[in-house]
Amino acid sequence: MKSKGSLALRLTVLFLLLTFIPLGILALLVHLTITNSFYSLGTHYLREQAQAVAISLAGSERSISQEAIILGTQLDDHYVFVINPEGVYIAHPDVSKVGSNITSDFGDGIVKSITSGQAGEGINESAGIVFGYAPIPGKDLTVVAIGNSQDIQSPLIEIEQLTLIQLLASLALTGIMASLVIWWVVGKPLGELTSAADQLGQGNLEVVINPNEMKDELNLLAITLNKMRDQLGNLIRGLQAHIEELAQAQKSLKISDERSRAIFDAVNEAILVLDIDTGEIIDVNQKMSEMYGYSREEALRLRISTLSSGEIPYTQKYYKKYMKEAIQSGSQLFEWRAKHKEGFLFWIEVNMRQAVVAGKNRILVAVREINERKRAEQVRTAIYRISHSVQAAQNLNELFYLIHGIINDLMPAQNFYIALYDKDRDEFYYPYYVDQYDTTPAPHSPDRGLTSYVLRTGSSLLATPDVFENLLKNGEVQMIGANSVDWLGAPLNIAQGVIGVIAVQTYTKRERLTDEDKDVLAFVSTQIAMAIERKRSEDALLESETRWRTLTENAPQYILLLDRSGNVLFGNRFLPGMGLGDLGSHSFIHFVQDENRLMVEKALDQVFLEGKGVNFEIATRDDTHPTAWYACNLAPVVNEGRVEMAILNANDISERKKAEQAIQTLNEELEKRVLERTTQLASAVRELEAFSYSVSHDLRAPLRALDGYSRILEKEFHTVLNEDGNNYVHIIRASTQQMGHLIDDLLAFARLGRHPVGKQRVDMRELALRTMDEFAPERDGRDVDIKIADLPTCEGDPSLLHQVWVNLISNSLKFTRNCEHAQIEIGFQADDEVVYFIKDNGTGFDMKYADRLFGVFQRLHRPDEFEGTGVGLAIVERIVRRHGGRVWAKSALGEGATFFFTINGFGGIELENQPGV
């Protein structure tokens, strides 16, 4: 190996550089000093010349012009001239310049310098001159002596060139001598040492260095290199032997490691080796990469928290708890919710234990994917829970709520709804609808939405963004409602056909629905459909039974259900002498007088054999009560052509038999009933008062607390909360206030039942005008045209009728809010009765929902469109009904609405004289 440079040469160059730099600086200083001296001597000489001429001109008898010309011709390389304060030549060796201005020759700058009134000197580099000047004593003139700057620079350049040549010659001689000395003293022996070191570096241990040929540090360096040569020889020989041993061991270790790695990667379970103290991943096998989607290099940089779903209890904290148990108590086997690199979650079974790996204590984790098993378990559990929910749910709404919870355990189902289809009306309605963006849709006919698409096709649909885009392009669906990321729907099929659609949708890419979720929802939808249909049948049967029981229990006659032998199976009430213990054990014939038994037996035979109804009268047999007479009707109950039971309706006709006794008995019965009804009414009033008190106090107290604390959050912590937090606080406050309004309306509705109707003559026009004036602030700033006719008077309670006008006028003002020119008309119609009405040109409503209009909490518009609690019109209906009247409405969407009501007993008004009749 040859040396890439020479230390002696670098030392020589460095020496020359260190010599040249101070010499160059010195030469520059000398140049500046000599230059300044030369220019200073030249200008000083010219100033003296100018002063001498000025003195001469001051004492001369000749004219200034003649004197200056004579003086100018006496100068060799200079010339002299005279100027006035304005810079105009007064005298000049060149007569043609007399009268011209000095600035034309030397520029503007020189005039200010030489007309200052004092003697001086200067240099004008742009004009290439040096000059001196002096004022003429006693005259306002200045003498100027001009010289050529080139005359100064020429000898200066010659001196500098000569000096530079001498300096360079000295520097070259010095460099040669220094190079020779450095080479002999340093370069030659250092070259030998470098060559020897180079030979040692190449492995030549035979090189020999003679230290006697070198001095000082180089001698010591030569001795050291010889020792290093000997030590390297011994070391290399020892290393060669050790390397041979290591090579053999490494070969064996490599074979063993390859065998272990092959076995490690061939295991059909994901294996993770964890640090026992920190939980960091030390090693993984190939199955782990396949299961989680990470390469081995990526996995070694991860933490267990990255591989877990993060949902409680599948967090880092609980994982460390299992690690601690594995160290203290031995192997741990548990199920875990894991997260793939792509973000989706899956179930695993984890077997964790402490083990010695590569001589160190580690945590060895074996992972087996159990997604299919877990999903199968979840589906089986869901089916069982759906079946059980039918018995557990009190009604359909509770059943829908339980189904939502079951579906949410199977897939991301925060946004979930059930749409049922009414085939007779060809209409969808939504008995259960939970969505973070959309409100519950109104009932509607099948449209081009996804729900209707599933109904049309009868198949499940997973509408991912790509699938939905294709459906849009093909014109099969339209965008309805909020734009979700994934939408999943399945038809609710029973033997009779599709009864509706169950749907789940997500709005974030963090929660995606999969084809597996589609299969699961399609599978359980059949169970859900059967559960819904069963619950609807049970509810219908219960409702029918309740209506029948209510009808029979409140019927004035006795109703008994008899079998073929006349045994009493059911009775709404019991005849004298008959008790609850007699049901199914005694025949009805046992309770009638002996002379009537044959007639009853014939009637039973006729009903059960011929299937015909029979009417007869009987007297009951009861030793503890007077004889009672009943008019009876025995009718057959036919099932599939057979008479299985008979219904006996018995009306008490004892009063016709014994008038006085019957009247007395009737009076006692009436008094007893009045007392019972009075007691019941008093109890109902107390219950209503207790309810009102509970609503007013017990329910308002937590609402006030909720409103107060949320107001504190909004006022004092709005900077701490983020935008979402502040929005949630605002929603809490708005909902609390809405609940307060709802309680007020509910109490007002409840109080109507206790408010006595104090009737008197009421001027309806004056009442309507006064009520409209109360809404003046709400009409402020709006274009509202109001017409109120001369309404007929009526008989009624002024305060209650005032509430009717308040609620109706409030509705008209509210639903005309979006009209540029609102119109409200209050009038009446009169045919057989007076009909008051209020008409507006507001939003209106669909008449197919008119039957819901006067129900409590019934609303036909979304809360974000128009505020309200849905109680106002119910209050109107109850007040009108208590006045013996009725209320109804006519409307069309976008064409306004008209509300009509009547008040019975308007009394004695000559309608033909009323305007508008």
Write out the DSSP string of 706-743.
HHHHHHHHHHHSTTTS-HHHHHHHHHHHHHHHHHHHHH
For 157, the token pair is 């350049």
Average pLDDT of span 232-249: 73
For residues 419-437, give the mean pLDDT: 92
DSSP state of 665: H
Q: Residue 19 to residues 6, 8, 171, 185, 356: CA-CA distances in angstroms?
A: 20, 16, 8, 20, 72
pLDDT of residue 73: 42
Strand order in the sheet with 497-506: 427-434, 415-422, 497-506, 486-494, 461-463
Determine the average pLDDT of the residues in 295-309.
87
What CA–CA distances, in Å, run from 542 to 534, 638, 814? 12, 21, 41
Q: How confident is the model at residue 2, as a pLDDT?
A: 45
pLDDT range class, residue 749, cuts 50, 70, 90: low
**Per-residue pLDDT band at 1 (split at 50, 70, 90):** very low
Among 187-191, 446-450, 665-669, whose mean pLDDT is lowest?
187-191
Contacts of 828 (CB under 8 A, 6+ apart): 789, 791, 792, 834, 835, 836, 837, 914, 916, 917
Instruction: Summarize the confidence of residues 14-35 as an average pLDDT.
Output: 71
Under a CB-based contact definition with an 8 Å cutoff, are residues 765 and 916 in contact? no
For residues 285 and 264, what is the distance between their CA atoms, to the nearest angstrom? 6
Q: Which residue has the higher pLDDT, 488 or 610?
A: 488
pLDDT band of 435, cuts 50, 70, 90: very high
17, two tokens: 């550089």
Q: Which residues pair with 840 in a beta bridge?
A: 824, 897
The per-residue pLDDT for 906 is 43
Mean pLDDT of 135-150: 83
Flag whether pLDDT at 395 surpasses 80.
yes
Rounded to the nearest angstrom, the gap between the alpha carbon of residue 831 and the centroid of all alpha carbons in its chain is 60
- Say if strands 360-369 and 897-902 run parallel, antiparallel, or are unpaired: unpaired
At 547 the pLDDT is 77
pLDDT score at 916: 35
Question: What amino acid is encoded at 442 in this protein?
Answer: A
Order of strands, sheet of 897-902, starting from the edge strand that comes earlier in the sequence: 784-788, 822-830, 834-840, 897-902, 887-891
Check residues 280 and 746 and name the one with the higher pLDDT.
280
- Identify any residues that bridge with 500 across adjacent strands, giving them in sequence order: 420, 492
pLDDT at 687: 64
The β-bridge partners of 148 are 129
Q: Which two tokens stand for residue 445?
A: 């006919």
- Taking each continuous run of H as one helix and of E as one strand, the counts in the chain are 24, 27
Q: Is pTM beyond 0.85 here?
A: no
- Residues 434, 400: Cα–Cα separation, whole Å: 11
Q: Identify the three-state secondary structure at position 190.
A: helix
The CA distances from residue 465 to 459, 512, 548, 902, in Å, are 19, 11, 53, 56
- Residue 835 has a pLDDT of 92
Q: Is 912's pLDDT higher than 50? A: no
The pLDDT value given to residue 434 = 93
pLDDT the model gives residue 74: 42
| pLDDT at 858 > cutoff 60 | no
User: For a pLDDT cut of 90, what percent of the chain falls above it?
Assistant: 12
For residues 627 and 77, the model is more confident at 627
Range in 111-120, 243-252, 712-721, 791-800 with the lowest mean pLDDT? 243-252
| Distances from the Cα of 262 to the Cα of 248, 285, 359, 760, angstroms | 21, 9, 20, 102
Among 383, 391, 430, which Cα is nearest to 528's? 383
Residues 686 and 694: their CA atoms lie apart, in Å, by 12
Is residue 229 over pLDDT 50?
A: yes
Structure tokens at 602: 């014939």
Q: How much is the pLDDT for 905?
A: 47
Contact 209, 191 (CB under 8 A): no
Closest CA to 853 of 880, 819, 882, 891: 891
Q: Which long-range contacts (CB under 8 A, 24 or more apart) does 609-618 make?
A: 611/636, 611/638, 611/643, 612/636, 617/653, 618/592, 618/593, 618/650
Q: By CB neighbour count within 10 A (0-12 exposed, 13-18 middle, 19+ buried), where does 139 fall?
A: middle
Mean pLDDT of the residues in the chain: 78
User: Residue 101 gets which letter from DSSP?
Assistant: B
Greater pLDDT, 854 or 499: 499
pLDDT of residue 406 exceeding 50: yes
Which of 219-223, 318-322, 428-432 has the highest average model confidence (pLDDT)? 428-432
Mean pLDDT of the 260-272 span? 77
Cross-strand partners of 635: 647
Residue 402 has pLDDT above 70, yes or no: yes
Q: Is 431 exposed, middle or buried (0-12, 13-18, 19+ CB in 10 A)?
A: middle
Whose CA is closest to 444, among 487, 478, 483?
478
Tokens for 706?
């909720």
pLDDT bin (cut points 50, 70, 90) of residue 843 is confident
pLDDT single digits (tens) 66-115: 555 555 444 445 788 888 888 888 888 888 888 888 887 777 767 777 77
Query: Which of 124-128, 182-186, 436-440, 812-816 has the largest mean confidence?
Result: 436-440
Please tell me the distance from the alpha carbon of residue 386 to that of residue 524, in angstroms, as a whole number.
9
Q: Where are the alpha helices (DSSP H) in 644-722?
A: 654-657, 659-693, 700-716
Q: What pLDDT is stored for residue 739 in this prediction?
A: 62
Q: Cα(808)–Cα(813) distance, rounded to whole angstroms?
A: 9
Length of the chain: 917
How would residue 455 be classed by pLDDT, with cut points 50, 70 and 90?
very high
